[in-house]
Amino acid sequence: MASFSQRIFCCKAAGPAPTPGNVKLHNDPNREIHEAIFRSFIAFAVRRQELADSIEEAAKQRKQESARLLALITGIANPDSEIPPTSATPPPPAPRILQLTPAPIFTFEALKNNPLTPQVPYVIHLTSRVNFGPVYSHRYFACPWDFQHDWVEVSLIHWFAEGEPFKMKAEKWDLKCKKDEHFFRLTLRPNLAMRPVAPTPVAGVHYPHPSEVQEVLDQRGQQDQQDQHGQPSYEQWSHRQQGQ
């Protein structure tokens, strides 16, 4: 599993890449929700990029400060040596981040802590390549129910062993970096276990249309009402029994 500070894309220069496969169908009823999911993932990737950049910059400044301190100590022992100038602005404090340690593969604890649960609505499959070359990276991210929250990476193979419901491809987006020619494809995979399942067609078997089913239910409801009107109520039945 990747650490919390690992970048999603190579840098911030990735943008939409026009490819023939990006032609969208205009009659997709889920297009709006798919685009909202895509925007949520891009916002998460930007947050991850900014966090990784800040950590990298803080580490660089700490390294420079260590070198200056070492030069200062060396200068005390050797007064003729030059001391590098001190930076005018102090380095920003490094953000406190909980580094997630991956569990051992194929253990009971690892399977128990699998973030890829049946309640995950969507997964994005991210593939990376250089200039439309062979794929060198496969990563999977679980979509949160609240699009403002961070996504969860589920790239461990023993986690995605439970990914059978996510075999369908619902949507895809292509991005390409303008600096180093890296190409990224985001494939949206819905959780089929959370969708209604149609019956498997069998030769010679008629599967009623939903309108036919509703018509039968309406007829049954009318018949039940007629039966209720034709039967005497409890009070009427009591009076008849007393009269007899």
Residue 96 confidence (pLDDT): 46
Greater pLDDT, 171 or 208: 171
Residue 97 confidence (pLDDT): 45
Over residues 210-236, the mean pLDDT reads 62
How would you list the strands of the sheet with 14-16, edge to edge? 14-16, 171-177, 182-190, 122-130, 135-142, 152-153
Residue 231 confidence (pLDDT): 56
Tell me how many degrees the CA angle 108-123-7 measures, rounded to the nearest 5: 90
Q: Reduce the DSSP state of residue 150 to 3 states and report it.
A: coil
pLDDT above 60 (res 6): yes
Rounded to the nearest integer, the mean pLDDT of the chain is: 72
Note the pLDDT tens digit of each residue in 183-213: 888 999 999 888 765 555 555 555 555 565 5
Greater pLDDT, 36 or 8: 36
Note the pLDDT tens digit of each residue in 117-147: 888 999 999 988 887 788 888 889 999 999 9
pLDDT above 70 (res 35): yes
Q: Is 40 exposed, middle or buried (0-12, 13-18, 19+ CB in 10 A)?
A: buried
DSSP conformation class of 185: E
Which residues are CB-contacts of 98 (< 8 A; sequence separation ≥ 6)?
4
Residue 8 confidence (pLDDT): 81
